[in-house]
Amino acid sequence: MARVLLGVCGGIAAYKAAALTSALVQRGDRVDVIMSESATHFVGSLTFAALSGNPVLTSLWDAPESIPHIALVRAADVFAIVPATANALAKLARGFADDLLSNAALAARVPLVVAPAMNAAMYEHPATRENLRLLVERGVTIVEPDTGFLAERETGVGRLAERDAILAAIDAALARTRELTGQRVLITAGPTREAIDPVRFLSNASTGTMGIELAREALARGAAVTLVLGPTLVAAPAEAHVVRVTSAQEMCDAALAGFSGADVAIATAAVADWRPAESYAQKVKKSDGPATLALERTPDILATLGARKAGTFLVGFAAETENHERNAREKLQRKHLDAIAVNDVSGGAGFGTGDDEIVLLWGDAGRKALGTGSKRVLARALWDALDVLRARN
Ligand SMILES: Cc1cc2nc3c(=O)[nH]c(=O)nc-3n(C[C@H](O)[C@H](O)[C@H](O)COP(=O)(O)O)c2cc1C
């Protein structure tokens, strides 16, 4: 049994949300319904109250003493908005909070499943497309509308998805939240800095975004996450246990400390391969600077973890500029990894916040392309793929 918070917006398809409520109740879920003011022009709140067996809320001001938008989202396991109007998509995407439904959506920490329904021109409008893109970026599940007969007596895209598709999306969102419950996940992220002197260092362009997004997704799936994070200005999720480190040696020590108890370890950090053989205690004067810098290897963190592996599912990342998959597969074997995610960083792609392309490799020939997208979207795809892979092992 799950607690489903159902938001109903003011569109023709609002009546279909009544059938969805009934289907959820019949399979044993508890349903709390919030209707937008516009939705009440289409279907009476009484319908949803009777079908759900719970009071229906439509206004922020009906029972303000209970702060309903916070209480309802805290109690819910999943928040589904069916149908979502063009207006609701715009408000969700931009963070407007001018009624109960939009306040609840903004306050929700649970997965959001949004099923839009509208006229084809509204759905295809660049503003709506952009709003949908922003929501997908943020990890919202969009249940794409179907193409079919619309209320305007014409055929086009914008018809609310079938009930089974919406139920499946709700189930997938719920399953995801439980997938890593009770599991411990260790993630390394960010660059390292290898000191030349107190103000100069060797480093790289990594921002730690991929690892931070993987940590965020693991938390959303119920894991306890330790994030070993190199120097970055990107904010780490507050719910993670964040261990801040600077050098490769510090990162290696912190990763080893967290490794033995971890069910899954993912090494995304762009660890410096070399460090200055000698580090100066005082800032080196321009005039005294060494003409050459002698370097030595830093510890290979992934190989160190791979050598000590006992039951932890170990995933590496390979940022390659050439022969990507061949090099990554060699690394997979040599470092005793269970899987490796390969991304092409030629031309600087892969670093920073732009789009990325990832292929996951495992075993002798296992391969799954996770596609191209933001690190947020790829983090979800990667955890989905790891879930399938771990279930097989
Ligand atoms: C008859 C009628 C049907 C409508 N159907 C839709 C619809 O299917 N999808 C949509 O996005 N807006 C639809 N609208 C417009 C919305 O009701 C309007 O944008 C409203 O402000 C939405 O409010 P809400 O997002 O708070 O529910 C319809 C309006 C009318 C009058």
Query: Is the CB of residue 116 below 6 angstroms from any atom belonging to ligand 1?
Result: no
Q: Is 10 in the pocket of ligand 1 (CB under 6 A)?
A: yes
Query: 88 CB under 6 A from ligand 1?
Result: yes
| Closest atom of ligand 1 relative to the 86 alpha carbon | 11
Q: Has residue 236 got a pLDDT over 90?
A: yes
The answer to pTM > 0.85 is no
* Distance from C-alpha of 371 to C-alpha of 134, rounded to nearest angstrom: 18
31 contact partners, CB below 8 Å, separation of at least 6? 4, 5, 6, 21, 24, 25, 51, 52, 54
Domains of the chain: 3-178 (3.40.50.1950), 184-392 (3.40.50.10300)
What's the 146 CA to ligand 1 centre distance in angstroms?
Answer: 18
pLDDT in tens, 242-265: 999 999 999 999 999 999 899 999
Question: From the centroid of its chain, how far is CA 90?
Answer: 21
What's the confidence (pLDDT) of residue 287?
84
Quick count: other Cβ atoms within 10 Å of Cβ 277?
Answer: 10
Query: What letter would DSSP give residue 144?
Result: P
Is omega for the bond preceding 83 within 30 degrees of 0, making it cis? yes
Instruction: Tell whether ligand 1 has an atom less than 6 A from the beta carbon of residue 131.
Output: no
Of 2, 133, 12, 153, nearest to 82 by C-alpha is: 12
Q: What is the per-residue pLDDT for 343?
A: 86
Structure confidence at residue 24 (pLDDT) = 97
User: 164 in helix, strand or coil?
Assistant: helix
- Asked if residue 68 has pLDDT above 90, the reply is no
What is the C-alpha separation between 356 and 370, in angstroms, rounded?
A: 10
pLDDT tier, 107 (very low <50, low <70, confident <90, very high otherwise) = very high
**Are residues 376 and 137 in contact, defined by beta-carbon separation less than 8 angstroms?**
yes
CB atoms within 10 A of CB 99: 20
Q: Give the distance (Å) from ligand 1 centre to CA of residue 383.
A: 36
Which residue has the CA at smallest separation from atom 22 of ligand 1? 10
Can you say how many angstroms the Cα of residue 70 is from the centroid of all Cα atoms in its chain?
Answer: 22
Cβ pair 103, 97 in contact under 8 A? yes
What is the average per-residue pLDDT within 154-161? 90
Q: DSSP state, 307?
A: H
More confident: 156 or 386:
386
State in Å: Cα 120 to ligand 1 middle.
13
* Strand stretches in the chain, DSSP E: 3-8, 30-35, 78-84, 112-116, 141-142, 146-149, 155-159, 184-189, 194-197, 200-202, 224-229, 241-244, 264-267, 274-276, 295-297, 313-320, 339-344, 356-362, 366-373
The model's confidence at residue 274, banded by pLDDT at 50, 70 and 90, is very high
The residues carrying an active-site annotation are: 204
pLDDT digits (tens, 9 = 90+) for 379-390: 999 999 999 999
**Ligand 1 nearest-atom number relative to CA 37:** 26
Mean pLDDT for the chain?
93
- The best mutation among 6, 8, 12 to test binding of ligand 1, ranked by most ligand atoms within 8 Å of the C-beta, falls on 12
Higher pLDDT, 293 or 322: 293
97 lines ligand 1 (CB under 6 A): no
Top mutation candidate among 57, 87, 149 for ligand 1, by most atoms within 8 Å of CB: 87
Q: Is the CB of 12 under 6 A from ligand 1?
A: yes
Atom 16 (ligand 1): residue with closest C-alpha?
10
Which residue's CA is minimally distant from atom 14 of ligand 1?
Answer: 11
From the CB of 40, is ligand 1 less than 6 Å away? Answer: no
pLDDT score recorded for residue 346: 65
Ligand 1 centroid, distance to 85 Cα (angstroms)? 6
Task: Kindly report, residue by residue over 308-349, the tens digit of the pLDDT.
Answer: 999 999 999 998 777 788 899 999 999 999 999 998 776 555
Determine the pLDDT at residue 350. 58
C-alpha distances in Å from residue 139, one per residue of 22, 112, 173, 258, 283: 27, 8, 10, 28, 45
Beta bridge partners of 34: 7, 57
Task: Give me the residue label for tokens 């092409």.
Answer: 344
Residue nearest to atom 13 of ligand 1 (CA): 11
Q: Give the ligand 1 atom nearest the CA of 9.
A: 27
CA-closest candidate to residue 383, choices 364, 365, 358: 358
The pLDDT assigned to 65 comes to: 79
Q: List phi, psi (to 5°) of 367.
A: -155, 130
Confidence of residue 69 (pLDDT cuts 50, 70, 90): confident
Q: Is 7 in the pocket of ligand 1 (CB under 6 A)?
A: no
